[in-house]
Amino acid sequence: MLKRLAIRVVAIVVTILVGLLVSATMVRMAPGFESDEHQLDAHLSPETIASLKAHRLANRKLASFYLTYIKHSVRGDLGYSTALGRPVREVIGERIAETLKICSFGIGVGCTLGFLLAFVTGMSRSSAWDVLVGGIASLFLCIPIAALALIFVLIRRPAGLAIAAVIFPTVYRYARNVLARTFAMPHVITAMAKGCGPIRVLTWHVIPVCAAQFMAIAGISVSLALSASIPIESLCGIPGIGQLALQSALARDLPVLVTLTVVIATITIFANSLSDLVPATVRSRQS
Amino acid sequence: MNKLAAVVALLVAMSSRGWTQSGELRLCLRAEPKTLNPMQVLDEPSETIRYLTGGVLLRVNRVTQQVEPELATSWRVSKDGRSISFKLRDHVFFSDGTPFTSADVDYTVKQMMDPAMHSPTGDAFRSGSGEVVTHIISPTEVTITFPAPVAGVDRQFDQVAIMSATSPKKELAVLGPFYLADRKSGAYVLLNRNPNYWKKDAMGRQLPYLSSVRLDVQPNRDIETLKLRRGEIDLINSIDAEFYDKLRGTSPQLVHDAGPSLDTEQMWFNQVAKAPIPDYKKAWFRSTAFRRAVSQAINRADLCRIAFLGRATPAVGPISPANKFWFDSKLVTPRYDPDSALRLLQSDGFHQQDGALVDRTGNPVEFSIITNAGNKYRERMATMIQQDLAKIGVKVNVVTLDFPSLIERMSQTFQYEAVLLGLTNVDWDPNGQMNVWLSTSENHQWNPKESAPETQWEAELDRLVREQAQSMDLKKRKRCFDRVQEIVYEQLPFIYLVNKNALSAYSTSLTGVSPSILRPQTYWNVEMISKQ
Amino acid sequence: MRTLHIASIALLLIVAFGALFADKVAPASYAYQFREAPNASPSWTHPLGTDDLGRDRFSRTLYGTRISLALAPLAALLSIVLAAMVGGIAGFLGGWPERVAMAATDLFLCLPWLFLLLMVRSLLPLNAAPLTSVLITFLTLGLLGWAAAARVICTEAREFRISDVLLQARATGQHGWRLLAVQFVPKLRPVLLAQFLISIPVFILSEANLGILGMGVAEPLPSWGSLLRELDSLSSFAGEWWKLVPLGLLVMVVTSFQVLLSREDVAL
């Protein structure tokens, strides 16, 4: 067990290091890396413009940046933000709690609603209900995230609900289809024919079959929530890492962007690993 | 009991200082301020903080356009324009109690002109090579000498916030009406009333009237407008035409249109010799007749009416007609005349073939216009220009790019054909545009960093802008800059499109607001603003 | 259910007809700017009013359908094929191939693809033909949109690998491709279908967001994504219901797909 855990931890670290390299490469190679918006300010002297660019050019050499970043990050130094002029650790440390708060809220509400409605759809076996809820899920999928965020601002509701609105349709669609297939299985039909109540059918015959898929769905909702947090935080003025990601992307702030990739990768991998581990552990205990 | 005593003490302190008013002014910042150091200010949010907290020696009254004394009670510019002497106010203190003297002015100038600091504020004073020398005559008298004349030197001090040479709080010790009290990264900045602010009103009451200013970070203009409507903020310093229009429909008392601003929107063609575009396209873009034809084929009145919902004026040249002194009144708005445009093109060897315009070698006239994504007004203008030019057989492709990619194409790779962007003018004096006209400058956007002027008219522009920068004679400067405008009007390195109006919105609970077209449009006299 | 099926088919046929014969049905060109009537309300001349440049919205909705309805489902199909390949093979094989594939998938979900897209844009000529730009956009979306579904499919494949169904199938003599085709692929159908239905609107909206990078559908060509981008400004909706028509149409089309593609074993 410990050996398996150790292997998994090593695998996660290697994955994150690869992610760090790939993201640093993409940011560095993207057009506009060496440009600064203030270059267009006609009031600035050539020397001032050169000094603005020099801050960016300090991170120009990719290999050197990568190695320096890893070496320093082991000591807790995540570099210096070229756009904000502050240590990256400080900048992210101030903001991560906000993102975790709204994402947790959004995932909780979105997944609960998605799974709940999928269960109700499965149990009710009503095609009208299926089309109705499916239509509502489609509606939320079709509304741009920016508009969703604005709606919740307009009705003065928490921004986490906008994230829930993004997650709910995906969770519902997957869960509904998986449940529909499970409800059609012979053992479930037999249980219902033998007079088992709906709750018993659900808890003893349906959920155990679908648990692994549900965990996987819950796992991907984490990366959905983090992606959605970028436009939602920016629009709602929430000082989280989503807002920071957008600002840093526009400013090509390499140290912040690679650190954000590491943070997001860690959270995503952790969530997905958990969603894989839990059913495997339950299964091994049952056997 | 302790709390009550504290409140009573505060009220007594306020009344002893003459503060009879209070209230918190609330507005939004479009992004988080990048710096609190007034010498390093580049972005608009940082400039807002600097303006609200920084004390300056002289200030330009945004309504009368006159330079007024602030921390300096009087000043004198030498005849050669190379030095300026100030007589400073006595018994003035920074927000932390440190006394203000000429040593602080000396320190500020040194910081500003330090080559290692690369202060953007100092760039306005870098008129020539050599050192800037400050001579302290007394604690309240100081003279600053520059290596070469600085055009409009007194006006430039409106941007220079005086820093303390001795305070342990460094740039946080300020002389302006407010000081930084609290800040949450990405969320808000809170400024409190400076207890040591030197200014009093005509009745002898301590200023500012407001007790604090709260600036929320809010990049989205829709939400900003919603907040104003709900009363969650008190003013929007600069509001877009679309939101102005909507607010005017529901709450007309909130909005204000100060008329054409000093800013311009323009497009230009790539005239860089080494640009990686086909040679036949370079030939088009370098042809004055081609540029004039394109200019004539664009319907500027429609751009103003539709893209800006009527809140813009057709532009004539680099100087807005709102800038009455510097604007060359001999110039008239370019006429919209597609037939004349076609005749001009025909005289330049172009002709129509199956509805499309082709050049003398048979190449169909097609080019792309790039502009920055997310700016709805520029995207609309580009699409309207696309239709206007289609009428004369020119095919235009509109490409929106994110800003860094756009800048890279414009200034490094030169991988573009035409650009649509704008220029922000912060002062009446056009000397601030000098880097646009100098052929050696990086900001000479249609053909940056020329080793020598590639055309006769660019050489003439170089000569004229240098001449006006060195002169103290306003009439001579005006003549030079009139000629600059005429050359630009003839040669069209930039095709000027519109001057946007200066639009703002503020709550009726505020008094003392005097909107102007110069930044900051609404709170330039923040110490005189009060709130019911 | 039968009524729903008929209604869905009818809707899709009407939408397809409108898109195919837009030249005949549309009252005006999608690009023409009626500059004397910007932001006009619906009328006989302009059934859905005009946009902020005076272009007929109804015409733009019809022409936009061609691009979005043709390419978004194709991109969605590409994404599910990739998801099925990566997730299915990984889950079926198990062991370290599964671990490596899932690690790569997790990473794929976290990387800042915006910058790759910027690089793609920089390689495209500025005067690229609109169709080329659109095809590349949807191809990119299909190539990038598989990771989330791959995770779920991998779980399905893993469950299948350790299930009694597989044992039984092998015991009856099924092996190799026949085993996969008869036993495995049908198991994936619910997840693949869910992913397909999710991807269509997501890709339509993403195409509009890619306009920020200079990709996507260039002006004046319309797409549903660019029409839906108007929803980014809520203040537009005070009493202007016609601006919601593209949204309603997209929801109905996606729901119609859902009704038609759901079979008895995944339908209720």
**What is the number of alpha carbons within 13 Å of residue B450 lying toward its C-beta?**
19
Confidence category of residue B15, pLDDT binned at 50, 70, 90? very low
Q: Is residue A15 within 8 Å of residue A21, measured between CB atoms?
A: no
pLDDT at residue B248 is higher than 60: yes
Verify whether the Cβ–Cβ distance A265 to C106 is below 8 Å: yes
User: Mean pLDDT of all residues in chain A?
Assistant: 88
Q: What pLDDT was estimated at residue B21?
A: 67
* Contact list, B442 vs chain A (CB under 8 Å): 39, 46, 49
Q: Which of residues 95-114 of A touch C (CB under 8 A)?
A: none
* Contact list, B118 vs chain A (CB under 8 Å): 47-48, 51-52
* Contact list, B302 vs chain C (CB under 8 Å): 35
Q: In the predicted model, what is the mean pLDDT of residues B121-126?
A: 89
Q: What pLDDT was estimated at residue B444?
A: 94
Cβ atoms within 10 A of the Cβ of B50, count? 25
Nearest neighbour of A30 by CB, restricted to C1, C115, C247: C115
pTM of the model: 0.91
pLDDT digits (tens, 9 = 90+) for B27-41: 999 999 999 999 999
pLDDT digits (tens, 9 = 90+) for B461-473: 999 999 998 888 8
Verify whether the Cβ–Cβ distance C212 to B400 is below 8 Å: yes
Verify whether the Cβ–Cβ distance C197 to A173 is below 8 Å: yes
Verify whether the Cβ–Cβ distance A220 to C151 is below 8 Å: yes
pLDDT at residue B110 is higher than 90: yes
Confidence category of residue C259, pLDDT binned at 50, 70, 90? confident
Q: In the predicted model, what is the mean pLDDT of residues B65-81?
A: 94
Domains and CATH numbers, chain C: 2-17+56-267 (1.10.3720.10)
pLDDT-above-90 percentage for chain C: 31
- Chain B residue with CA closest to A238: the answer is B187
Confidence category of residue C263, pLDDT binned at 50, 70, 90? low
Q: In the predicted model, what is the mean pLDDT of residues B287-315?
A: 97
Verify whether the Cβ–Cβ distance B226 to A244 is below 8 Å: no
Q: Which of residues 229-248 of A touch C (CB under 8 A)?
A: 245
Tokens found for residue B489: 């009007």
Q: What pLDDT was estimated at residue B130?
A: 86
Residue B42, chain A, CB below 8 Å: the answer is yes
Nearest neighbour of A216 by CB, restricted to C152, C229, C265: C152
Q: How far is CA B439 from CA B291, B444, B493, C219, in A?
A: 19, 6, 12, 34
Encoded amino acid at C7, one letter: A
Nearest neighbour of B34 by CB, restricted to A42, A85, A94: A85
Distance of alpha carbon C95 from alpha carbon A11, whole angstroms:
13
Between C230 and B85, where is the model more confident?
Answer: B85
Confidence category of residue C268, pLDDT binned at 50, 70, 90? very low
Verify whether the Cβ–Cβ distance B185 to A51 is below 8 Å: no
Verify whether the Cβ–Cβ distance A52 to B118 is below 8 Å: yes
- Chain B residue with CA closest to A34: the answer is B408
Verify whether the Cβ–Cβ distance C213 to B368 is below 8 Å: no
Verify whether the Cβ–Cβ distance A91 to B31 is below 8 Å: no
Distance of alpha carbon B464 from alpha carbon B128, whole angstroms:
17
Q: What pLDDT was estimated at residue C265?
A: 44
Residue C239, chain B, CB below 8 Å: the answer is no
Residue C218, chain B, CB below 8 Å: the answer is yes
Cβ atoms within 10 A of the Cβ of B335, count? 11
Confidence category of residue B227, pLDDT binned at 50, 70, 90? very high
Verify whether the Cβ–Cβ distance B383 to C53 is below 8 Å: yes
pLDDT digits (tens, 9 = 90+) for A5-49: 888 888 889 999 999 999 999 999 999 998 888 888 888 888 888
pLDDT digits (tens, 9 = 90+) for A132-157: 898 899 889 888 888 888 888 888 88
Q: In the predicted model, what is the mean pLDDT of residues B61-71?
A: 93
* Contact list, C111 vs chain A (CB under 8 Å): 19, 22-23, 26, 261
pLDDT at residue B412 is higher than 70: yes
Cα Rg of chain C, angstroms: 22
**What is the number of alpha carbons within 13 Å of residue A94 lying toward its C-beta?**
14
3-class secondary-structure state, position B361: coil
Cα Rg of chain B, angstroms: 25
3-state class percentages of chain C: helix first, strand second, coil last, to nearest 5: 75, 0, 25
Q: In the predicted model, what is the mean pLDDT of residues C105-115?
A: 88
Nearest neighbour of C233 by CB, restricted to B222, B397, B415: B222
Tokens found for residue C102: 């899932």
Q: What pLDDT was estimated at residue B461?
A: 96
Residue A136, chain C, CB below 8 Å: the answer is no
Verify whether the Cβ–Cβ distance A41 to B120 is below 8 Å: yes
Give the ipTM of the model, two decimals please: 0.89
Nearest neighbour of A138 by CB, restricted to C114, C115, C254: C254
Give the distance, in angstroms, between the CA of residue B256 and the centroid of all CA atoms in the same chain.
Answer: 19
- Chain A residue with CA closest to C118: the answer is A30
pLDDT at residue C257 is higher than 90: no
Q: What pLDDT was estimated at residue A286?
A: 58
Q: What pLDDT was estimated at residue B18?
A: 47
DSSP string, B124-171: GG--SSS--EEEEEETTEEEEE-SS--TTHHHHGGG-----SS-TTGG
pLDDT digits (tens, 9 = 90+) for B254-266: 999 999 999 999 9
Distance of alpha carbon B47 from alpha carbon A218, whole angstroms:
45
pLDDT at residue B83 is higher than 80: yes
Nearest neighbour of B403 by CB, restricted to A51, A94, A250: A250
Verify whether the Cβ–Cβ distance C31 to B368 is below 8 Å: no
pLDDT at residue B8 is higher than 70: no
Residues whose CB falls within 8 Å of the CB of residue B71, separated by 6 or more in sequence, listed in order: B55, B56, B57, B88, B89, B92, B100, B162, B175, B198
Q: What pLDDT was estimated at residue B127?
A: 78
User: Which stretches of chain A sit within 8 Å of chain B by CB?
Assistant: 30-49, 51-52, 83-85, 91, 94-95, 150, 153-154, 234-240, 243-244, 247, 250-252
pLDDT at residue B101 is higher than 60: yes
Q: In the predicted model, what is the mean pLDDT of residues A82-91?
A: 89
Nearest neighbour of A131 by CB, restricted to C194, C250, C259: C259
Q: Which of B446, B400, B439 lies closest to B423, judged by CA?
A: B446
Nearest neighbour of C266 by CB, restricted to A29, A146, A181: A181
Span of B192-206, B272-286, C74-88, C242-256 with lowest mean pLDDT: C242-256
Chain B: touching chains (3 or more CB pairs < 8 Å): A, C
Q: What pLDDT was estimated at residue A284?
A: 65
Give the distance, in angstroms, between the CA of residue C55 and the centroid of all CA atoms in the same chain.
Answer: 26
Residue from B246, B397, B398, B419 to probe the interface with C (highest C Cβ count within 10 Å): B397
The nearest CA of chain A is from the CA of C209 a distance in Å of: 9
Q: Which of C61, C15, C23 lies closest to C223, judged by CA?
A: C61
Chain C: touching chains (3 or more CB pairs < 8 Å): A, B
Distance of alpha carbon B225 from alpha carbon B240, whole angstroms:
10
Chain A: touching chains (3 or more CB pairs < 8 Å): B, C
pLDDT digits (tens, 9 = 90+) for A99-141: 999 999 999 999 999 999 998 988 887 888 888 898 899 889 8
The nearest CA of chain A is from the CA of B451 a distance in Å of: 15
Nearest neighbour of A42 by CB, restricted to B223, B402, B443: B443
Q: In the predicted model, what is the mean pLDDT of residues B397-412?
A: 92
pLDDT at residue C266 is higher than 80: no
pLDDT at residue B383 is higher than 50: yes
The nearest CA of chain A is from the CA of C117 a distance in Å of: 8
Between C169 and B219, where is the model more confident?
Answer: B219
Between B337 and C179, where is the model more confident?
Answer: B337
Residue B115, chain A, CB below 8 Å: the answer is yes
Residue C172, chain B, CB below 8 Å: the answer is no
Q: At what angle do helices B279-286 and B288-297 cross, to 10 degrees?
A: 70
Q: What pLDDT was estimated at residue C189?
A: 84
Instruction: Please write down the HEC assignment for all residues of A51-111.
Output: HHHHHHHCCCCHHHHHHHHHHHHHCCCCCECCCCCCEHHHHHHHHHHHHHHHHHHHHHHHH
pLDDT digits (tens, 9 = 90+) for B420-445: 999 988 888 888 888 999 999 989 99
Residue from A45, A234, A250 to probe the interface with B (highest B Cβ count within 10 Å): A45
Q: Is residue C235 within 8 Å of residue B226, measured between CB atoms?
A: yes
* Contact list, B384 vs chain C (CB under 8 Å): 33, 53
Instruction: Please write down the HEC assignment for all residues of C203-257.
Output: HHHHHHHHHHHCCCCCCCCCCHHHHHHHHHCHHHHCCCHHHHHHHHHHHHHHHHH
pLDDT digits (tens, 9 = 90+) for B233-245: 999 999 999 999 9
Confidence category of residue B17, pLDDT binned at 50, 70, 90? very low
pLDDT at residue B480 is higher than 70: yes
